[in-house]
Structure 1
Amino acid sequence: MSKDDTDLGPSYSAPAVDKAFEIIDLLAGEMSGLTVTDMALRLGRSTSQIYRIVVSLHRLGLLRRNEQSDRYELTLKLYEVATRHPPLQKLIYHADPILERLAEETDQSCHLATVTGTSVVILAQADSPMPMHYTVKLGSRFPAMETSSGVVIAALSAPNRQHMLLAEFSEAEREQFRARFEAIRASGHERRESDVTAGVINLSKPVLDAAGHPLGAITVPFLPQRRMRMQAEAVLEKVVAAAGMLTTIMQNT
């Protein structure tokens, strides 16, 4: 191994890589994408600097350009690469049949999500067998703290990760989240009306590794409707059991 391979101290940097990561991280939190000018303003860099990196990311298939608005957004390529990582592969592999059974038993759609950065990513999902149902698309990203999945994961995360997830909120809002964290730790799950979709009740339970750290969360966005066989409390019991089953598998494989 050469000296260059072993002596990569804090001063070593690759500016193009740094800029590429900044752009990817920025776009991860933008549902409608951003123009090159918007990105440059947000990142405090020149338009020419950002443009060169954006063109490269677009050529590599990591970004998609909207021809009408000239905005760039992330493609699913990073998600596809990430889910080839063995621990995530294992989590998704074991989650799929559990989610399918949960949807079938409860007549409700369900999904498995994890937190990356300050976003929630949908790793696996199963649709309700009912003609009308609420579902989220595989690979979708949402601001973590706007979702029950993100909050139950945050509740059991390390303090430094909680600090990062709460950094953009006011102190009053942080206190509200901390109260939710305490309630989730006490009960082990959360039942809460959706902050995003009226009429939906989120039923969420974290999935843990052997050290008790959250790997993700199973959530049912409970949609009340006629002819359903279970009320929300009974569905919550099924969510708790499903997350417990996946936790046991992940802790013993």
Structure 2
Amino acid sequence: MSPDGAASKPDRLFVEALARGFRVLEAFADRPAAMSLAEIAAASGLDKSAAQRLVHTLVSIGYLEKTAAGVAPSRRILDRSFDYLRSNPLINRAIPILADLRRTIKERVDLSLFDDLTMLYVVRMQSKRDTFYAHLIGRRVPTYCTSGGRAVLSHLPEEDVLDILQRSQRRKLTPRTTVEIDQIMERIVQVRETGYSLAIEEVLVGEIAVAAAVLDEAGHPVGAIHVAASLAEWQPDEFVARAGPLVTAAAAGLRPS
């Protein structure tokens, strides 16, 4: 129904079968392992018959594969990720800047893109101590509690910031995750003053991260550059003094002239 109560018109260009196919692929987002047909049907919200036809089609064209443990995403999906990464001009410009920052700071350097309630990692230059998931591209982290997310929020109007925070499922990822809106707003004010954002053990225990927002030609935030390190090797004040100016300069270097 439309807001005025009238029946909404069907979208004649929308291909429902294609959408259901993507629901099958997205079923693996919360379970990174092979699944049975029944498990795929349940995770995608489809009946078993529809799931069977879609799985068969996706296996036939190479986006799913059958294994001894069930059905799993195939390597062909990576081809589409490659297409996106090489076609994105921001990522293309960022690589040499991130590589130079990584050589200078000798800690993990990331580029994430702003996607409403989450930040999506698209470049990750790992350090010597990263865990498996920590350096995978495609990982999403909450905007509200991450260094990059708060750096982005600092460049948005307050009403937009509040909208994002109110729609976020603000939960503690660690004992030190900031989840109260007023406290998050205080952090954002600090970012506006310093130009960079600091997060200490808010996503991973033992990790400190500093980030600065990447802006487009109109001054709108489109992503962030992060530098992350271990609290076992850095004192917070020392890391901020070292990484803050570097990450700010790197982010400024990515803004189109």
Same fold (TM over 0.5): yes
Residue 3 of structure 1 aligns with which residue? none
Task: Please tell me whether the aligned partners of residues 64 and 71 of structure 2 are also in contact (alpha carbons under 8 angstroms).
Answer: no
Question: In 2, distance between residues paired with 1:33 and 1:143?
Answer: 23
Q: Which moved more, 1:135-144 or 1:192-201?
A: 135-144
Residue 231 of structure 1 aligns with which residue? 238
1:232 CA drift (Å) = 0.9
Question: In 2, distance between residues paired with 1:15 and 1:57?
Answer: 16
Task: Please tell me whether the aligned partners of residues 62 and 78 of structure 1 are also in contact (alpha carbons under 8 angstroms).
Answer: no
How many residue pairs get aligned? The number is 233
- In structure 1, runs of 5+ residues without a counterpart are 1-8
1:182 CA drift (Å) = 5.6
Task: Please tell me whether the aligned partners of residues 110 and 220 of structure 1 are also in contact (alpha carbons under 8 angstroms).
Answer: yes
Question: In 1, distance between residues paired with 2:135 and 2:253?
Answer: 24
Give a deviation string over 1:91-114, Cα, whole Å, max 9, x none.
Answer: 122111111111121121201122
1:148 CA drift (Å) = 3.8
Secondary structure at the aligned position of 2:135 is classed as: coil
Task: Please tell me whether the aligned partners of residues 111 and 126 of structure 1 are also in contact (alpha carbons under 8 angstroms).
Answer: yes
Say if 1:155 and 1:48 are closer, same or farther in 2 by CA, change over 3 A. farther
Say if 1:108 and 1:171 are closer, same or farther in 2 by CA, change over 3 A. closer
Task: Please tell me whether the aligned partners of residues 211 and 226 of structure 2 are also in contact (alpha carbons under 8 angstroms).
Answer: yes
Residue 45 of structure 1 aligns with which residue? 46
Say if 1:153 and 1:177 are closer, same or farther in 2 by CA, change over 3 A. farther
1:15 CA drift (Å) = 1.9
Say if 1:93 and 1:101 are closer, same or farther in 2 by CA, change over 3 A. same
Q: CA RMSD in A?
A: 3.8
Equivalences for 1:39-118 in 2 at 5 Å? Answer: 39-63=40-64, 67-70=67-70, 72-73=72-73, 75-85=77-87, 88=88, 90-116=89-115
Is residue 2:133 matched to residue 1:134? no
TM-score normalised by the chain length of structure 1: 0.71
Give a deviation string over 1:98-154, Cα, whole Å, max 9, x none.
Answer: 1111112112120112245765433223344xxx34374353423444754345446
Say if 1:235 and 1:11 are closer, same or farther in 2 by CA, change over 3 A. closer
Question: In 2, distance between residues paired with 1:151 and 1:108?
Answer: 20
% identity of equivalent residues:
22
Say if 1:72 and 1:126 are closer, same or farther in 2 by CA, change over 3 A. same
Question: In 2, distance between residues paired with 1:22 and 1:178?
Answer: 36
Residue 19 of structure 2 aligns with which residue? 18
Question: In 1, distance between residues paired with 2:41 and 2:229?
Answer: 40
Residue 124 of structure 1 aligns with which residue? 123
Question: In 1, distance between residues paired with 2:227 and 2:56?
Answer: 39
1:184 CA drift (Å) = 2.6
Say if 1:174 and 1:30 are closer, same or farther in 2 by CA, change over 3 A. farther
Task: Please tell me whether the aligned partners of residues 35 and 72 of structure 1 are also in contact (alpha carbons under 8 angstroms).
Answer: no
Structure 2 counterpart of 1:205, which letter? A
Equivalences for 1:154-233 in 2 at 5 Å? Answer: 156=155, 167=167, 169=169, 176=180, 179-180=183-184, 183-184=187-188, 186-188=190-192, 189-224=196-231, 231-233=238-240
Task: Please tell me whether the aligned partners of residues 41 and 48 of structure 2 are also in contact (alpha carbons under 8 angstroms).
Answer: yes
Question: In 2, distance between residues paired with 1:154 and 1:57?
Answer: 38
Say if 1:24 and 1:78 are closer, same or farther in 2 by CA, change over 3 A. farther
Question: In 2, distance between residues paired with 1:10 and 1:142?
Answer: 32
Residue 254 of structure 2 aligns with which residue? 246
Secondary structure at the aligned position of 2:40 is classed as: helix
Q: Which moved more, 1:204-213 or 1:159-168?
A: 159-168
Task: Please tell me whether the aligned partners of residues 146 and 199 of structure 2 are also in contact (alpha carbons under 8 angstroms).
Answer: no
- In structure 2, runs of 5+ residues without a counterpart are 1-8
Say if 1:94 and 1:171 are closer, same or farther in 2 by CA, change over 3 A. closer
